[in-house]
Structure 1
Amino acid sequence: MATGGGDAQLFEDNFTIYERDQSKYDRVARITASTEDNLTQMTLDVNIELFPVAIGDHLTVVLATSLSLDGTRDAVSDGKGWRDVKGESSLADLYDYVCHGKIYKFEDGADGQTLKAYISYGGLLMMLEGPSKKLLPLRVENTYLLIKK
């Protein structure tokens, strides 16, 4: 289900939350979710004041290198924050929760067919584990996380 973004879109899938832990922080919950086929797992720290989530919620998750609808321009690389681009439509308008972060680590799975990608969104961490073919496009430095229910 592509929503625009051209070649800027690195990853998209639908997840169902099956675990939620808020024991460490008041406003952050660590969620664990998987795709319907259980091939891809996600662990993500979410600011629940901005984006309340619960076990059983279905999420569409997209990772992209740009918020530009045509995939050509990235405001952060232009020296602006993604919220500073006024009057222009962007992928952020289509989603409920948006973060910008850095992919800082990759690990090969034990079976050689899977990959783990680790991403930090200003200290809120994400780990995606799934088929190498699906996660290989994430071998970039920076990415936007876009989520909607």
Structure 2
Amino acid sequence: MSNLAAGDAQLFEDTFTITEHDQSKYDRVARIVATSTDNQTTMSLDINTELFPIRPGVNVEVLLATSLSLDGNKDEEEEKGWRHVRGESTLADMYDYVCYGKIYKFEDGDGQTIRAYISFGGLLMQIEGPYKKLTPLRVENAYLLIKK
């Protein structure tokens, strides 16, 4: 994990390879499926293809964080919405695609894995992997940051 965000702000970070891309239901939204480079974690994610065009075979870095502040601290302006953070650099400046949403549900997998569900304004994400990798996730608001 990188040390861009200090403290508890960084919940999860991994590199994934896109394995599937299904844009059959909506014009500007695709459901992508991806596997982490260590093959321990899988992700399915609804993504706005106008803002972030993607195709199978591409590797992406995925970060879930509770703050966009580089020092990991939330400030009052960030609480009002991520677009209103002071004029200084944030994690969002380092990524190509940023969403804000809520981690809302967990399910046990096979006893060794856990599945987390996150909604970004109706664009859904499911991430499944070992308890050890997904332990920092809890029911709370979070930012999704992705870069190629």
Which bin holds the TM-score, normalised by the shorter protein? over 0.9
**Cα gap change, 1:51 to 1:11, in 2 (>3 Å):** same
- How many residue pairs get aligned? The number is 147
Offset of residue 86 of structure 1: 3.9
* 5+ residue gaps, structure 1: none
SS at match of 1:60: strand
8 Å contact 2:42–2:129 — kept in the other structure? yes
Q: TM-score, normalised by structure 1?
A: 0.94
Runs of 4+ in 1 over 4 A off after TM superposition: 74-77
Partner in structure 2 of residue 88 of structure 1: 88
* 5+ residue gaps, structure 2: none
SS at match of 2:51: coil
The 5-angstrom pairing of residues 1-149 of structure 1 reads 1-7=1-7, 8-74=9-75, 78=79, 80-110=80-110, 112-149=111-148
8 Å contact 1:103–1:118 — kept in the other structure? yes
Cα distance in 1, alignment partners of residues 123 and 77 from structure 2: 18
8 Å contact 2:77–2:85 — kept in the other structure? no
**Cα gap change, 1:40 to 1:49, in 2 (>3 Å):** same
Offset of residue 2 of structure 1: 0.4
SS at match of 1:83: helix
SS at match of 1:133: helix
Fraction of identical pairs, as percent: 69
Offset of residue 76 of structure 1: 6.9
**Cα gap change, 1:74 to 1:106, in 2 (>3 Å):** farther
8 Å contact 2:115–2:127 — kept in the other structure? yes
Q: CA RMSD in A?
A: 1.3
